[in-house]
Amino acid sequence: MLAEALAKLEGFTYMPSENHWWQHGYSSENDFIYVTTQSLSVEQLQVLSDEVGAGRSLLICCSAWRGITADQAAERFPNLSLKKNPQNDFETLRMGTRRLQLERRQFADGGRRT
């Protein structure tokens, strides 16, 4: 749900790949998005950069990154773009999930309020 929402917010089509664990969606043939709630290390960013390879780019939406600044990451990993997940989007998603669960419950009860 989070990956789908952030993909749409960033202008990507949400379509997880069956072949690449890091492809949650795409905006073009060579431009992809990966969404995680993790804080990523330099080593994890290196693995992602290697997996993406030259000629493709990956927007990584994550909680944070460690051991490197955004400027250093841009220089070291030219095929990656880093973006922190906005906390207010998490709150919106949580509220939307609660609302959806309530609506489902009401629908299952024949529309009666519980």
17-64 pLDDT per residue, tens: 999 999 999 999 999 999 999 999 999 999 999 999 999 999 999 999
| pLDDT in the model for residue 84 | 93
> How far is 52 from 3, CA to CA, in rounded Å?
18
Tens digits of residue pLDDT in 80-105: 999 998 775 555 555 554 444 444 44
- Mean pLDDT over all residues of the chain? 84
* Dihedral over Cα of 15, 16, 22, 23: its sign: negative
What pLDDT band is residue 2 in, cutting at 50, 70 and 90? Answer: confident
The phi, psi pair for 8, rounded to 5°, reads: -65, -40
